[in-house]
Chain A
Amino acid sequence: MSKRTVSKKGEREAGKKEGREGADGEERDVIVDTVARVMIPLSQMFALYVMIGTEGAGGGFQGGVIFAASLILLATVFGVKKGRDVLPEGENAILSSLGLYIYAGVGLLCMVLLWGAAEYLNYGAFPLPVEYALRRGYLVTYAVEVGIGITVATVFASLFFDLAWREDVLGRDEGRRDL
Chain B
Amino acid sequence: MIIPLDLALLFFLVVIGIAALTVKDLLAAIVLLGAYSFVMATVWVQMHSPDVGFTEAAVGAGASTALMIAALSRLERWSSD
Asked if A150 is an interface residue, CB under 8 A from chain B, the answer is: no
Instruction: Among B59, B63, B70, point to the contact of A164 (Cβ < 8 A).
Output: B70
Contacts of A178 in B (CB 8 A): 73
Asked if residues A69 and B63 are in contact (CB atoms below 8 Å), the reply is yes
27 contacts between A and B (CB under 8 A): A61-B55, A62-B51, A62-B54, A62-B55, A62-B58, A62-B59, A65-B55, A65-B58, A65-B59, A65-B62, A66-B62, A68-B63, A69-B58, A69-B63, A72-B66, A76-B66, A156-B63, A160-B66, A160-B70, A163-B67, A163-B70, A163-B74, A164-B73, A166-B74, A178-B73, A179-B69, A179-B73
Bound Cα distance from A108 to B58, whole angstroms: 31
Q: Main SS of the interface on chain B?
A: helix
Number of interface residues of A (CB under 8 A): 18
CA of A160 to CA of B66 in the docked complex: distance in angstroms? 8
CB-CB under 8 A from B62, the residues of chain A are 65-66, 69
Q: Which partner residue on chain A sits nearest B59 by CB separation? A: A65
For the complex, what is the distance from the CA of A72 to the CA of B68, rounded to whole Å?
12
B positions within 8 Å CB-CB of A: 51, 54-55, 58-59, 62-63, 66-67, 69-71, 73-74
Measured CB to CB, the residues of A under 8 A from B are 58, 61-62, 65-66, 68-69, 72, 76, 156, 159-160, 163-164, 166, 176, 178-179
Residues of chain B within 8 A of A166, CB atoms compared: 74
**Is the CB–CB distance between B73 and A176 below 8 Å?**
yes
By beta carbon, the residue of chain A nearest B71 is A163
Q: Which of A58, A72, A178 has the most CB of B within 10 A?
A: A72
Residues from chain A with a CB closer than 8 A to the CB of B51 are 58, 62
CB distance from B79 to the nearest CB of A (A): 19
State in angstroms the CA–CA spacing of A52 and B55 once bound together: 16
Residue of B nearest to A69 (CB): B62
For residue A91, give the distance in angstroms from its CB to the closest CB of chain B: 20
Which A residues are in CB contact (< 8 Å) with B73? 163-164, 176, 178-179
CB distance from B70 to the nearest CB of A (A): 4
Residues of B within 8 A of A58 (CB): 51
B70 lies within 8 A of A66 (CB): no
- List residues of chain B with CB within 8 A of the CB of A163: 67, 70-71, 73-74
Distance from A162 Cβ to chain B, minimum over Cβ atoms (Å): 9
